[in-house]
Amino acid sequence: MKITAGRYTFILTLQTLLLVVDWNINIFALLSRQSNALMLILFIVQDACLITSLTLLLITFFSTYVFQTGLVYILYERFRTTLIICMFYFILTTILHIWSLISRWNNFRHSWSTGFSVFFILQRLTGTIYYYYYKRSSLRISDPRFYEDTDMESSRLNAQVVQN
């Protein structure tokens, strides 16, 4: 299966749009503090965007020739850091949302404890790393070597068969 320019452009545009939505929600969720319902909706949209972006990244992995021939370990070696950061960022974001909403709903005035402030900063710093690695991976997966039989994959497969 060869990647087409139109298909890749569509997926890359959608991935970029999801990153921009996540980034904007991280910025503007702080401004929506007057309405608990609005914050809840923004948090649900952000979590849905994170799940969708990870799903799109995995779909692009699954559509490669390398994956379809069973050489999943090559993709895992190249994109392991991105997958770990995506999962870690999603977990941090979800915990921050839950913590923020619970503290807002228990107190009518949201106070920032030291723990919450540290967790908030950790989530935002992880978000920056997530944006970098996710965008880099979505661009790297367009490499034509992932979509056609090349000597690199054949030699690795032969080396694996010889070792077994």
Packing angle of the helix pair 5-28, 114-140 (nearest 10 deg): 170
DSSP state of 4: P
Cβ(22)–Cβ(46) below 8 Å? yes
pLDDT band at 154 (very low <50, low <70, confident <90, very high): low
Q: Which residue type, as a one-letter code, is found at position 134?
A: Y
Q: Which domain holds residue 159?
A: 5-163
Upper half-sphere CA count for residue 19 (Cβ side, 13 Å)? 21
Cα–Cα distance measured from residue 40 to residue 97, given in angstroms and rounded to the nearest whole number? 8
**Number of structural domains found in the chain:** 1
Question: Looking at residue 161, what is its pLDDT?
Answer: 44
Question: Looking at residue 62, what is its pLDDT?
Answer: 87
What's the rounded mean pLDDT across residues 96-100?
A: 91
Upper half-sphere CA count for residue 65 (Cβ side, 13 Å)? 16
Q: Which is more confidently placed, 3 or 34?
A: 34
> Which pTM value belongs to this model?
0.82
pLDDT band at 14 (very low <50, low <70, confident <90, very high): very high
Question: Looking at residue 141, what is its pLDDT?
Answer: 86
pLDDT band at 152 (very low <50, low <70, confident <90, very high): low
Question: Looking at residue 132, what is its pLDDT?
Answer: 97
What pLDDT digit, counting tens, does each position of 41-86 carry? 999 999 999 999 999 999 988 888 888 888 888 888 999 999 999 9
Q: How far apart are the first and last CA of the chain?
A: 28
Average pLDDT, the chain: 84
What does the block give as tokens for 9? 């452009």
Q: Is the pLDDT of residue 121 over 80?
A: yes
